[in-house]
């Protein structure tokens, strides 16, 4: 899915652009995707889907106690700690889709929260398949977002 879904999105965008006059369709598509921040918008769309998915999982598993910095709160505090993830996914996803400047800062806050919470829980509860995957995903995606930050910061200057 990590390779197939972006490739499918890129092929769809290429089809949307139509046939290139000079015959260099894929080069044109890559260049336009890069310049217009379509990769960041795509990540934003995935985060919006993740927000919906997280909300569905939380509402169908209210009894699950999510590890939160070596604790497993229940009741209202437990529900609120579970709600942090879909709320941040929704905010960052929307900001990425709209290429908003503030989305970069919110993403960095989200990444710092996810990484620190994951590392603390790793120390307390040990490794786990989901925990390890999320830690790797946070590190890799943060490196990519920091690398591509100009798309959010420069595009935001044009819109403001």
Residue range 42-90, pLDDT digits in tens: 899 999 999 999 999 999 988 888 889 999 999 899 899 999 999 999 9
* 28 and 42 inside one domain: no
Among 19-28, 75-84, 95-104, 142-151, whose mean pLDDT is lowest? 19-28
DSSP 23: S
- Residue tagged 């006059």 (tokens): 21
Whether residues 62 and 139 fall in one domain: yes
28 and 83, same domain (yes or no): no
Residues 49 and 14 placed together within one structural domain of the fold: no
- In this structure, are 96 and 73 located in the same domain? yes
Q: Per-residue pLDDT tens for 124-133?
A: 999 988 889 9
Q: In DSSP terms, which residues pair with 68 in a beta bridge?
A: 71
Q: Do 74 and 22 belong to one domain?
A: no
Task: Please give the pLDDT value at position 2.
Answer: 61
Q: 123 and 67 in contact (C-beta within 8 Å)? A: no
- Distance CA(114)–CA(116), nearest Å, equals 6
Q: 20 and 88: one domain?
A: no
123 shares its domain with 48: yes
Burial 85-124 (b: 16+ CB within 10 A, else e): bbebbbbbbbbbbebbbebbebbeebbeebeebbeebbee
- The Cα–Cα gap between 103 and 94 comes to 8
CA distance 38 to 45: 10
Q: Give backbone dihedrals phi and psi of 41, rounded to 5 degrees, phi first.
A: -60, -40
- Host domain of residue 76: 37-159
Kindly state whether residues 19 and 64 are assigned to the same domain.
Answer: no
Number of domains the chain contains = 2
For residues 81 and 17, membership in a common domain is answered with no
Residues 6+ apart with CB under 8 A from 86: 50, 51, 52, 54, 55, 58
Distances in Å between the Cα of 44 and the Cα atoms of 91, 92, 103 are 9, 7, 10
Is residue 27 located within the same domain as residue 59? no
99 or 62, which is more confident? 99
**23 band by pLDDT with thresholds 50, 70 and 90:** low
Asked if residue 62 and residue 92 are part of one domain, the reply reads yes
């Amino acid at each position: 899915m990590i390779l197939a879904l972006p490739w499918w999105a890129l092929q769809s965008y290429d089809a949307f652009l139509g046939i290139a006059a000079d015959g260099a369709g894929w080069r044109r598509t890559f260049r336009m995707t890069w310049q217009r921040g379509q990769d960041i918008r795509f990540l934003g769309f995935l985060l919006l889907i993740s927000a919906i998915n997280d909300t569905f999982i939380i509402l169908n598993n209210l009894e699950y106690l999510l590890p939160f910095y070596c604790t497993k709160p229940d009741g209202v505090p437990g529900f609120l700690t579970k709600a942090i993830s879909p709320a941040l996914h929704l905010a960052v996803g929307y900001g990425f889709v709209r290429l908003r400047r503030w989305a970069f800062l919110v993403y960095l806050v989200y990444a710092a929260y996810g990484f620190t919470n994951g590392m603390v829980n790793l120390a307390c509860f040990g490794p786990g398949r989901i925990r390890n995957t999320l830690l790797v995903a946070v590190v890799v995606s943060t490196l990519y977002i920091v690398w591509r930050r100009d798309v959010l910061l420069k595009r935001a200057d044009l819109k403001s």
